[in-house]
Amino acid sequence: MAPSVLQNGGFLLAVVGTAALIAATGTSKWSVRDRPGDEEASLYRHKGLWQDCATTFSGFTQCGSLQGSSVLKPLFCIKGAFWAVRALMIIGVLLSVLGAMMSLFSLVLGSLEDSTKARMCLTAGVAIIIAGVCGITGASIYASHILASLKTSTYGGGHEASAQGGTPTYTFGPASFVGLMGGNVLVMAGILKSMAFREIMKAENAR
């Protein structure tokens, strides 16, 4: 396959994956409450990495900052796991942006030597792959805590407690899927950039 096709494909996937990772990191719908209605007359509640929000029946949404272990429950009993998810997503965003920018520069700067372009492709590919792994890991950690919360609710009387105004039960929100998808797309983009590096070096050595 032509190196230009691999480079362009890797760049486009990197842009898509980066956008998905940024959107997932910034949104407040990583988890949503699966039983509507509580003492606050909320239509539904949803949590992100930064905010805990409640939307009323009138359509008004009010959000508060996610600070303190009591706000993180029932999903995260261990506060360090939540901070790990935050850190992984931020690192993923930064590396994906850096990789996408390097990928763009290797495409638009036509005066560069092939060996320099190849090194930029490889560096961008490695950065993008690491970004994708960070996104996948962060989303997976969050998902594992949701699953643990659901299991506790199912086998520990959680639904009854929720119906009586006790600890609410949360399930998967769209942002967790977007983060996971973005991470996988970034890994694919990084693989294409690495393949482009190999093809560029083959073409240069054949001369």
Looking at the chain, the whole-number percentage of residues with pLDDT higher than 90 is 34
Instruction: Quickly list DSSP for 69-105.
Output: HHHHTTT-SSHHHHHHHHHHHHHHHHHHHHHHHHHHH
* 125/14 Cα distance (integer angstroms): 9
For residue 26, which phi and psi values (nearest 5 degrees)? -85, -20
In this predicted structure, what is the pLDDT of residue 166? 47
Q: From 3.20.80.10, 3.30.70.640, 3.40.50.1110, 1.20.140.150, which CATH number describes the 3-31+72-206 domain?
A: 1.20.140.150
Question: Per-residue pLDDT tens for 104-139?
Answer: 988 887 677 878 888 888 999 999 999 999 999 999
Question: Per-residue pLDDT tens for 56-99?
Answer: 777 777 777 766 544 455 555 556 788 899 999 999 999 999 99
Residue bearing the bigger pLDDT, 42 or 59: 59
Residue bearing the bigger pLDDT, 24 or 63: 24
- Is 17 within 8 Å of 185 (Cβ atoms)? yes
Closest listed residue to residue 124, CA positions, set 205, 34, 28, 7: 7
State the average pLDDT over residues 28-45. 65
* 8/31 Cα distance (integer angstroms): 35
CB neighbour list of residue 40: distance below 8 Å, 6 or more residues apart: 54, 56
Distances (CA, A) of 20 to 14, 34, 71, 128: 10, 24, 26, 13
In this predicted structure, what is the pLDDT of residue 183? 96
Question: Per-residue pLDDT tens for 165-185?
Answer: 445 577 888 998 999 999 999
pLDDT band at 186 (very low <50, low <70, confident <90, very high): very high
- Is 100 within 8 Å of 128 (Cβ atoms)? yes
Domain limits of the chain?
A: 3-31+72-206
In this predicted structure, what is the pLDDT of residue 78? 54
| Arithmetic mean of pLDDT over the chain | 79
In this predicted structure, what is the pLDDT of residue 66? 66
For residue 20, which phi and psi values (nearest 5 degrees)? -65, -40
